[in-house]
Structure 1
């Protein structure tokens, strides 16, 4: 795993100062502490920081092709590189190294931009063609690896693995985008179609970008999408066997490493399934690690230890407590952009724990999106059936009116919390699912905004890009639509961002076998009844894993990587909750109604309401603005 950065002049060809590229890569040293390199030519400069995983002694970057025509800087892993290498050798290609980087160069030389469709892996890379004088940028199908880019005032394009790489360039502007603030307050992160800084873009997952010196900045081109439009035919038993085959291939292909390798183990279905296949393929005990909490209701370490005993793993566990939140500034620095998923802290801690013994760790991320493991997906499928039965005027006028007057009863048993369901049913399927995904609905957000921010936003609402995405989803049902939204919107913006930044901050490579694109494509074609039965998600996955895992692991209520932030903000972090309304940093932005925020903090501390998500959002926004210096 690595960090990449570079500069490319559009509209002209000017010399590139190598020291500028070096500064951009130096701030990414945590992503690649094992080596560094810079290459420049008229109009272009490529930089690299290396974390050595495969072909440790060889494969320095930036790397030239055998013909010297192409130069690459690459972040990621290509899991099928050995098969591609054999195919290319059959075509007469000679290789000088043993790693995957040279295979990408040879594949691009053979197939051009189409080579990305042949790559099975996680990647973000830039290839400069010295003959055609073009720079080709690519990002993997799901967006496991990040790639930021911006057009600077001198016309050049700067790109980097993290926003801090761009900020190292002296021409980089630091002006906040109000729409990104609205997006962040809606979702708890800045999604991939936006950046907290005006002008900065993220290359979308499954896209490429071809830059030319004599042309303006073009639009990215999509090379892959996930489709739920078709269904597999066949008996459930046969599909179960095929699923197991895909799972086994996905896990074992990601166990190739020339450095120590292990796994994250939460004790849930997904990470336990990964560990099961790792144990089956390994001659040595698999190294596993887990993080627990000092709040019993959020602690899952007992389940992780149970799975570790079943498979005889070399297991380590550690506890996260509220007094470790002195790391808030560190967390903000990892993400650059504001990021309010509070599970970032335990994810970082488990990465630190893993890095004590391994350099590569496999995770269970992606299964909920691919196999319908989120409760919200199941609810959306049921709600879509109800929407089809209830006339639109009844839904919008009657249910909408009931939803607006129904009390928000967070304290009540779940069946009595009808406000969200009523408001969801009153709207379209896209509107309903946006409510399920969001931290705060529009009425909740705008109540906290200042009149200035509301005026800047005008008619823009953070939900609109999600509506557009869901409306064009290749799908056949509400469940398909929800999963598509999670794979394309939630997964790259929240889950994969969290894992990439926290793992790279510790110089650990995280791999997601359950996001093997062949496995996800297979899962997308499963009949709806094999994904969800009643309210049980991931049905076929759980059934397939009964030969490996006990029922109390497979069928216990889903907990996820829950962080007890609500309790902490009423206890040891109450001072931070109170202090956010008085923050000089947030006050300077003029974005929020500070008196209202102060009242919200007191209501939370007094346990009159649960405002932990909003308060945590504001704390992380405050710290991110301070780190970026953009307020």
Structure 2
């Protein structure tokens, strides 16, 4: 996880403008660099580094001797960079995975370069020889990128919107700051003045497209056809490969699998500089896990334990859960920990602690979406604990599983398999506005790097290619196909494998009094009825309809006035007359109180 920032065509002093880049310093606590572009005195790059790969030569903007005219700032990981390097016989100058972008662009151009990448990324690529600027973002927007472009051609870019808020422009009104769309690249002509003109915006990948390039893993054992046993086997193979390829790092790696209430942390220590494919054979690795016992996190934890045992790793897995003593997630986590034989630790969570963190979480989120905030508090606090109490840096997360496998409880009410499949794709396309945004900001707030195996290109494309009827909830259970794929393997306890999804972030608190209930009580004392009645007038865009929404919006507007468009709409269940995003408010919700 790093923070990238760039200006092209600034009319103000660059040294003054550069102070805005410090607003994202939390994303890269290891080092910072500010560099003017040679020959363009009104253009510059800023980079906050979290050193993960090639700690010696990984500083940015990245430049190599072979391409002196190319400048690159990027945030992300390219999991197939070694495969691409070998396939095309590139000669690397560094061990940085992002160097592959320079070689691919030089040989193939921007479109093919982007389409060849297996990973998560946002990038800013400058070609001074041809006076071109290119920006791009991965398929699901796992890595963030915000864009400010004025009518006179001033372009400003940053990993988080807050880094662009006080950028000075010649405009009389505040310039619009927008998230760059996932799966796209944009090309600009760069004028001698440093100003730019957008000449091309194009999608290079979407979630339903399966990678065709040989540069992606060629996995053995994948079957053809939609016979159930073949599909189940393929799901297992692709899932394990998705986890495995993301173990690329030269720093201590952690894993925080977090859906709305589904968190996991796995950490292990690497000795030496190694590549993903080969590291398991020779390294001493120590694992730490944080998870609440949800399906997604438990599957990831168990899969990693399995890999560790196969390679005879010398350290036990440590597991961590967060929640009240009687929370359903903590209870489930204990069962999983006992089943996999991990060294288990529980971190206490209280509603009072969550309420105290609300404002700083909203500041980091840059969102006033209700369900996003509720689910962010626990993830923010556990990320803070990891940063302060451990030396793990790279964090795996479970974002995308619910969207991909129709895990939200409202999918039980889908009018047809086709409608369910369409909504699954819609949710995946909006991840960058909600769950992926939450996971990025809550981890990056504490200088941790996010990785998301459930959003692997091959895994998602395969799952979405399956017949619509196979993917819907079945027998009253959501994610039925995913559960069925791991049935009978004893990877995790059966009661966890078939445990129903808990209601968003409520699962980490007491069944007697949930985080949701405690939050409502606090807000009731902060917002009165008359204030809510005036909400439509005060907040005409996305007006809040509840006191909670009003309370959150007030805090958001305090820090980000007139930026309400950053949240285009609220996350809400479909096909149900819902007034609140929490599943606890839905008539079809039946929590597993006996777990």
TM-score computed with the length of structure 1 as normaliser: 0.72
* SS of structure 2 residue aligned to 1:220: strand
Maintained 8 Å contact 1:569/1:577:
no
Structure 1 residues 615 and 217, CA, compared in 2 at 3 Å: closer, same or farther? Answer: farther
Cα distance in structure 2, aligned partners of 1:587 and 1:484: 32
Maintained 8 Å contact 1:291/1:349:
no
Maintained 8 Å contact 1:331/1:345:
yes
Q: CA offset at residue 336 of structure 1?
A: 2.6
Partner of 1:146: 144
Alignment of 1:367-446 (within 5 A): 367-380=401-414, 383-384=415-416
Cα distance in structure 1, aligned partners of 2:96 and 2:153: 35
Maintained 8 Å contact 2:188/2:200:
no
**Are residues 1:568 and 2:518 paired?**
yes
Maintained 8 Å contact 1:322/1:573:
no
Q: CA offset at residue 252 of structure 1?
A: 0.9
Alignment of 1:80-91 (within 5 A): 80-88=80-88, 90=89
Q: CA offset at residue 132 of structure 1?
A: 1.0
Alignment of 1:110-509 (within 5 A): 110-113=107-110, 114-152=112-150, 155-171=153-169, 199-214=176-191, 216-218=197-199, 220-227=201-208, 233-263=225-255, 264=264, 265-282=291-308, 283=313, 284-293=315-324, 296=326, 299-324=328-353, 325-340=355-370, 341=372, 342-355=374-387, 356-357=389-390, 358-380=392-414, 383-384=415-416, 477-489=418-430, 491-509=431-449
* SS of structure 1 residue aligned to 2:136: strand
**Are residues 1:515 and 2:455 paired?**
yes
Q: CA offset at residue 541 of structure 1?
A: 1.6
Q: CA offset at residue 516 of structure 1?
A: 0.4
Q: Report which stretch shifted further, 334-343 or 308-317.
A: 308-317
Q: CA offset at residue 46 of structure 1?
A: 1.6
Choose between structure 1 and 2 for higher RCO, CA contacts under 8 A separated by at least 6 residues: 1
Cα distance in structure 2, aligned partners of 1:512 and 1:226: 14
Q: 1:558 aligns with which of 501, 504, 507?
A: 501
Q: CA offset at residue 225 of structure 1?
A: 1.6
Cα distance in structure 1, aligned partners of 2:366 and 2:172: 12
Structure 1 residues 227 and 630, CA, compared in 2 at 3 Å: closer, same or farther? Answer: closer
Cα distance in structure 2, aligned partners of 1:48 and 1:313: 38
Cα distance in structure 2, aligned partners of 1:315 and 1:174: 57
**Are residues 1:536 and 2:566 paired?**
no
Maintained 8 Å contact 1:270/1:365:
no
Structure 1 residues 241 and 149, CA, compared in 2 at 3 Å: closer, same or farther? Answer: same
Figure out how many residues of one structure are paired with residues of the other and give that number.
487
Cα distance in structure 1, aligned partners of 2:440 and 2:340: 27
Cα distance in structure 2, aligned partners of 1:107 and 1:502: 33
Cα distance in structure 1, aligned partners of 2:350 and 2:525: 16
Cα distance in structure 1, aligned partners of 2:171 and 2:496: 50
Maintained 8 Å contact 1:261/1:287:
no
Cα distance in structure 1, aligned partners of 2:470 and 2:532: 52
TM-score computed with the length of structure 2 as normaliser: 0.76
Maintained 8 Å contact 1:568/1:574:
no
Q: CA offset at residue 165 of structure 1?
A: 0.8
Cα distance in structure 2, aligned partners of 1:521 and 1:502: 27
Maintained 8 Å contact 1:288/1:315:
yes
Structure 1 residues 333 and 30, CA, compared in 2 at 3 Å: closer, same or farther? Answer: same
Structure 1 residues 4 and 22, CA, compared in 2 at 3 Å: closer, same or farther? Answer: same
Cα distance in structure 2, aligned partners of 1:496 and 1:346: 15
Maintained 8 Å contact 2:36/2:43:
yes
Partner of 1:34: 30
* SS of structure 2 residue aligned to 1:581: helix
Partner of 1:471: none
Maintained 8 Å contact 1:139/1:207:
yes
Structure 1 residues 218 and 202, CA, compared in 2 at 3 Å: closer, same or farther? Answer: farther
Maintained 8 Å contact 1:370/1:487:
yes
- Let me know the Cα RMSD of the aligned residues: 2.9
Deviations 1:356-391 (A, max 9, x none): 3211121222111112222223422xx148xxxxxx
* SS of structure 1 residue aligned to 2:95: coil
Cα distance in structure 1, aligned partners of 2:296 and 2:455: 11
Maintained 8 Å contact 2:406/2:479:
yes
